[in-house]
A and B are shown apart, each in its own frame.
Chain A
Amino acid sequence: MEGFKKSLLACIWFMFLTFPLVVIRVDTAEKTVQWRWMHMLWVGLGAFLLSYVWRFMLKRKAMGRSATNPDGTPVVPFLQRLSANPPLARSIMAVIAIGALVFPWLFSTYQTNIMISAMIYIVLGLGLNIVVGLSGQLVLGYAAFYAAGAYSYALLNHHFGLGFWTALPLGAGAAALCGIILGIPVLRLRGDYLAIVTLGFGEIVRLVLENWNEFSMGPSGVSGISRPGLFSVELSVDGATTYIYYLMIGLVALTIFVINRLKNSRIGRAWLALREDEIACVAMGVDRMKTKLTAFALGATWAGMAGVVFAAKTTFINPASFTFMESAMILAIVVLGGMGSILGVSLAALLILLLPEYLRAFSEYRMLLFGATMVLFMVFRPQGLVSSERQRYEFKETKESQG
């Protein structure tokens, strides 16, 4: 009842607030005033419903902490049930894998291209996840590393005719170097200060690319970048797209494999500890500089590789592809997906990339929806889509085994 009353109040308040805008309409041509009372009704109804749903959700969330099924057993999250049931998990994985493999044969080149973009963002999200999600360093200039990779390939290809496969490790290396260059001066910074400096770094890189005409060809960018060839065979546009698609699947698989292994390793634990409590972490014998720099370098490496693929896919790059919006988008993927969670970040990357593609009708409201989703997530699911699970260990008496 309390909720009902409050919602009613909210509804009246909104009707009052929007009254001059939605109800009164002055027609200057005919010098008449229109009173559109129906609009007020709609606003009231909408406000009431939204407010009621909002309240209901908040209430459910407050109760949700001690969630139990009607028969008293605790509610087990879907993913936990999945990991407790390896055959089911394996079959789901197999279905996804087969679906991904046959995709380019079932759908058009256009669709395949969209999937390539989505996978590039998965790699970017997972890479940033190392820096932000695992080691807790809030970096807002991630697009700079992406640019480093893309420009490495573009320029090396343009000036020296280097191929894709030679450029891939070089681009990754260039990005890692950028990571270290950024990492050293910000070693002592954390939180907001780190965010500001990295934001500045991202902008500096973009501005340099935009203004240093001799080096990066300025705002007009680099065009005519060659697509990757298959054993020195020139592929058609469609063929190259399919090729890049499979290449990206390989890269995504590699990224997931590597990050999954790093997560539960000595280095991964040091990253987590650094995120949780820097002073305690250092006092326990972890070298802060080494740990932070490895996180920066490794995170940047993935961005570099994604950048090389991006340049190869579009065959044309300019600084406009590496703005702050790009960094913010990748960060949103990590935050929405769930810090440190591989599955969550991959899902979020797919959602954020694919939804705008298929909901073109709403493209004008894209940013609005984006913001609203963010707010809703922060209120109702601050841990992200999928919260990261830590590895569990099983011990039997005297004889121990790793589980």
Chain B
Amino acid sequence: MSAKTIVLEVKNLSMNFGGLRALSDVDLDILQGEIVALIGPNGAGKTTCFNCITGIYDPTEGDILLRSPQGKGVRLNGLKPNQVTELGMARTFQNIRLFPSMTVLENVMLGTHCRTKSGILGAILRDRKTREEEVRVVNKSYELLKLVGLDHHVNDLASNLPYGAQRRLEIARALATDPFLLLLDEPAAGMNPNETIALEQLVMRIRDELDMSILLIEHDMKMVMSISDRVHVLEYGQKIAEGTPAEVGANPQVIKAYLGEEAVDA
């Protein structure tokens, strides 16, 4: 395989909320086809970092550069979330944000919104182009539901799904936007060990089969250690370590951040 290209590069990212500095000078990069984990204690700024990257917040300082596999680079600062999604980056949310009174299939179909074009007139007249697009969207969404194992729930309301399934549905919905970079915000939160293992396999499959790069925030260390290629560690808004899971696990600063001062001395 040739030298891998960088798909996402974050340089000197800082985010202030009034007087509070939630992130300061964070650097981050993800290579094509990599699974990178972003970890850190609660309140370290992981989700803030996600929100800056996906355009929900406009960072105070720093640059965020997204490079598609075709080599087109775009600076994301100041773009709206939907524009960022259109460029090929999709995300899931820490506290599940599905569309509860829409069906499972419709949730995924919505993800294709920015890749489809039919407008009001098309919807009213239902011409051939619109019909063909609709069939394409339905089929693609169904395939994605198969991938995450929800193809038996197509017509259920999203709110009626069990918790773990809702998380997987969020992933399917994100994939429907045709991304090349997927951001997962604590995908395993609240899952039991079996579900977590299934999720690990799903994430690996998505990476391998769909040729995706993945950035994930996760608290489940077992999962982080087993699936990620590299790990970035945040504490109090600053990056304190970076490296392979083994390197990071042995880093005294990281141990201190997670377990406290005494653990390092012992």
Contact = CB atoms under 8 A, between A and B. Distances in A.
B255 interface: no
- Nearest 4 pairs between A and B by C-beta? A285-B114, A265-B123, A285-B85, A280-B97
Contact of A284 (B101, B111, B157): B111
A283 B139 CA distance: 22
B99 A261 contact: no
Interface in A251-305: 258, 261-262, 265-270, 272-273, 276-277, 279-288, 294, 298
A266 B113 contact: yes
A402 interface: yes
Contacts of B106: 269, 272, 390-391
B113 A393 contact: no
Interface residues of A, number: 32
Nearest to B54: A283
Chain B contact-residue range equals 35 or more
A196 B157 CA distance: 32
A273 B111 CA distance: 10
B124 interface: yes
A47 B139 CA distance: 59
B138 interface: yes
Interface string B109-142: 1110111101110111010001001110111001
Given A269-B109, A277-B98, A281-B99, A393 B82 contact: no
B116 A266 contact: yes
Contact of A265 (B103, B105, B111, B118): B118
Contacts of B119: 266-267
B135 A284 contact: no
A186 B100 CA distance: 25
A276 B124 contact: no
Given A267-B123, A284-B114, 20 more contacts: A265-B118, A265-B130, A266-B119, A269-B102, A272-B101, A276-B99, A276-B101, A281-B99, A281-B110, A283-B82, A283-B91, A284-B85, A288-B82, A390-B102, A392-B103, A393-B138, A393-B154, A395-B154, A400-B142, A402-B135
Nearest to B176: A284
A267 B91 contact: no
B86 interface: yes
21 contacts: A265-B134, A266-B116, A267-B118, A269-B109, A276-B98, A277-B98, A279-B56, A280-B98, A282-B80, A282-B81, A283-B85, A283-B90, A285-B111, A285-B115, A390-B101, A390-B102, A390-B155, A391-B106, A393-B155, A395-B154, A400-B139
Given A273-B99, A279-B56, A279-B97, A284 B110 contact: yes
Contacts of A285: 82, 85-86, 90, 111, 113-115, 177
Given A268-B123, A400-B142, A286 B113 contact: yes
B173 A284 contact: yes
B118 A393 contact: no
Contacts, number: 122
B93 interface: yes
A270 B113 contact: yes
Contacts of B242: none
B151 interface: yes
Contact of A287 (B82, B99, B130, B155): B82
Nearest to A279: B97
A216 B54 CA distance: 49
Contacts of A266: 113, 116, 118-119, 123, 133-134, 137
A393 B133 CA distance: 16
Interface of A: 258, 261-262, 265-270, 272-273, 276-277, 279-288, 294, 298, 390-393, 395, 400, 402
Nearest to B117: A266
A84 to B, nearest CB: 14
A391 B157 CA distance: 11
A269 B110 contact: yes
Given A282-B81, A285-B177, A294-B120, A390 B103 contact: yes
Nearest to A270: B113
Contacts of B116: 266
Nearest to A280: B97
A390 B102 CA distance: 7
Contacts of B126: 261
B99 A272 contact: yes
A286 B82 contact: yes
B102 A272 contact: yes
B110 to A, nearest CB: 5
Nearest to B86: A285
Contacts of B120: 262, 267, 294, 298
A399 to B, nearest CB: 10
Contacts of A393: 105, 138, 142, 154-155
A105 B85 CA distance: 58
A269 to B, nearest CB: 5
A283 B57 CA distance: 12
B156 to A, nearest CB: 10
Contacts of B157: 390
Nearest to B174: A284
Contacts of B142: 393, 395, 400
B116 to A, nearest CB: 6
B100 A276 contact: yes
Contacts of B118: 265-267
